[in-house]
Chain A
Amino acid sequence: NAGVTQTPKFQVLKTGQSMTLQCAQDMNHNSMYWYRQDPGMGLRLIYYSASEGTTDKGEVPNGYNVSRLNKREFSLRLESAAPSQTSVYFCASSEQRGLRADTQYFGPGTRLTVL
């Protein structure tokens, strides 16, 4: 099992450009998440998908959109990148059998720089 994979690993954008970060998991998990991590800080939740076909906003959703393409894939789109979106982006998944959050499995991250 590859677990959670993310592409690309690194990306540099100019202000105003758009891009999509891809995430896939092969653990048959129900829930998937997108986080951002800024220097010296913990992770902040951008969006999550509790199950296929549903998405919900997290703590910092502004400037982002997401798509839960199928059970395996959850993409994050920046429509018009801004320097404030320079960060490391992590995708995660969890089995989420109950109503409360359980163990999450993380991808290796995408390091994004917006000039």
Chain B
Amino acid sequence: SQQGEEDPQALSIQEGENATMNCSYKTSINNLQWYRQNSGRGLVHLILIRSNEREKHSGRLRVTLDTSKKSSSLLITASRAADTASYFCATVPSGSARQLTFGSGTQLTVLP
């Protein structure tokens, strides 16, 4: 079963615009992570946010977490064509879970 579900499934924007992707999950979590996957490649870790954090920044990335709504969002500001990729959220359930559970991803296309 997939804990996290991303929304939208696909997003197409112009270079320079901001891109927002959302992730909803079902059970309480210890942390939530966002990964990027370029076509035909492995996943690359972007950012980790813990359950006691509400917002985190890394370069052009901003992640928010609302545990009351069981949701997270990933904002990419001033997007570039190189940001074209699939973005996945992955959750770690509360307790001593060692596994990540991935959502089905958002396919982002940034048009030049």
Contact = CB atoms under 8 A, between A and B. Distances in A.
Contact of A48 (B98, B101, B104): B98
Contact of B103 (A42, A90, A100, A109): A42
Contacts, number: 68
Interface stretch (B11-19, B39-47, B55-63, B70-78): B39-47
Given A40-B104, A41-B104, A42-B104, A103 B45 contact: yes
Interface string B1-24: 110100000000000000000000
A105 B104 CA distance: 19
Contact of A101 (B4, B88, B99, B103): B99
B98 A101 contact: yes
B44 A48 contact: no
Majority secondary structure, A binding face: loop
Contacts of A59: 1, 101
Interface in A34-52: 35, 40-45, 48, 50
A99 B96 CA distance: 5
9 contacts: A42-B88, A43-B102, A45-B100, A100-B92, A100-B98, A101-B30, A101-B98, A104-B100, A105-B45
B20 to A, nearest CB: 19
A58 interface: yes
Given A92-B42, A99-B96, A107-B42, 4 more contacts: A41-B105, A100-B30, A101-B97, A102-B48
A96 interface: yes
